[in-house]
């Protein structure tokens, strides 16, 4: 577990599964993804996060308040598939329930996750990407001090097999 001033980042537990699925069923939360996903797709995503942590020692973290209320997730995810336009890489990302928006939770938790990935695990190259219209995530990337890298922007198959355009940022090295 990682603790920040206001948040706790946990490894995934089975009791997170329902809140995780509810968040992914919310049209507001999933607007950047092409819309909500069903329970089976949410469970598959949940299982991918748990498997990544077991196999690579790193993944997204469940983000909670100190009293245990699920807010969303943040963390560094290994993307080891050669078929990704960026090749194998580590990607920092986050997703939160609307009740958590506008309170700095994404910035606070992503910063803690990056400090862990770089300072504890020694990762040296981490990227972030988002859709051109996801201004909230772009604002978090700016607050984190990420550096925009237009030469790495890509288009890949997205949700529901529609093209997805990714704007890319690089995480500068920092102390853990």
Q: Do 171 and 114 contact (CB within 8 A), yes or no?
A: yes
Report pTM. 0.92
Q: Check residue 174 and give its pLDDT.
A: 57
State residue 171 phi and psi, 5-degree precision.
-85, 120
pLDDT along the chain (176 residues), means of 10: 96 96 96 90 96 94 97 96 90 97 97 95 93 94 96 88 90 64
Domain ranges of the chain: 2-170
Looking at CATH, the fold of the domain delimited by 2-170 is given as Aminopeptidase (3.40.630)
Q: Do 171 and 142 contact (CB within 8 A), yes or no?
A: no
């Amino acid at each position: 577990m990682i603790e920040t001033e206001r948040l706790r980042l946990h490894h995934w537990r089975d009791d997170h599964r329902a809140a995780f699925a509810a968040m992914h069923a919310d049209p507001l939360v999933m607007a950047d993804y092409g819309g909500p996903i069903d329970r089976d797709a949410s469970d598959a995503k949940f299982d991918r996060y748990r498997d990544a942590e077991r196999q690579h020692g790193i993944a997204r973290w469940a983000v909670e308040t100190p009293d245990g209320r699920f807010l969303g997730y943040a963390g560094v995810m290994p993307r080891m598939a050669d078929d990704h336009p960026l090749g194998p890489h580590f990607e920092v990302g986050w997703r939160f329930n609307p009740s958590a928006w506008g309170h700095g939770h994404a910035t606070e938790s992503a910063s803690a996750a990056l400090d862990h990935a770089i300072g504890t695990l020694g990762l040296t190259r981490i990227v972030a990407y988002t859709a051109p219209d996801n201004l909230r995530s772009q604002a978090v990337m700016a607050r984190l001090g990420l550096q925009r890298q237009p030469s790495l922007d890509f288009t890949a198959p997205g949700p529901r097999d529609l093209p997805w355009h990714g704007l890319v940022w690089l995480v500068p090295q920092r102390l853990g």
